[in-house]
């Protein structure tokens, strides 16, 4: 059934013959699905490592650019063309003062008391 008697697959193929309602295509489909799942996992791992590598390379390039900018700025400072580096410059920001306006403080005392009394009465009317 499965080739020579001492072959590796002899017993496997012989036993497959007697499994009820088992077809060879079932085994092939399962092996194909396992292979596809393994390839998908491998592709996802490869893409993840590629993203990490790209991010690392991008950060290295950015660091090189910043180092070159700092070196050029230091050369300018040493030669006297630039007075201060950018980190030492401070910026003055002028901002308006905050004005608080209260509607109740603009009303006269008598009118303010009436509005407060009416608020209290409306709350009490809702409760009782």
77, 85 contact by CB (below 8 A): yes
* Mean pLDDT, 10 residues at a time, the chain of 128 residues: 60 60 84 95 96 96 95 85 62 80 59 68 72
31, 44 contact by CB (below 8 A): no
Tokens at 82, concatenated:
């630039």
Which residue has 């990490």 as its token pair? 52
End-to-end CA distance of the chain: give it in Å, rounded.
96
Cβ atoms within 10 Å of 54's Cβ, excluding its own: 10
Question: What pLDDT, on a 0 to 100 scale, did the predictor assign at position 122?
Answer: 75
């Amino acid at each position: 059934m499965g080739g020579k008697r001492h072959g590796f697959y002899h017993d496997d193929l012989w036993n497959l013959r007697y499994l009820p309602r088992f077809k060879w295509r079932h085994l092939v489909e399962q092996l194909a699905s396992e292979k596809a799942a393994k390839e998908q996992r491998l592709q996802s791992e490869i893409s993840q490592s590629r993203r990490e590598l790209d991010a690392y390379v991008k950060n290295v390039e950015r660091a090189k650019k910043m180092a070159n900018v700092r070196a050029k700025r230091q050369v300018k400072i040493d030669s006297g063309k630039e007075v201060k580096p950018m980190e030492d410059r401070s910026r003055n920001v002028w901002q308006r003062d905050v004005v608080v306006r209260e509607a109740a403080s603009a009303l006269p005392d008598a009118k303010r008391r009436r509005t407060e009394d009416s608020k209290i009465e409306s709350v009490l009317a809702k409760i009782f």
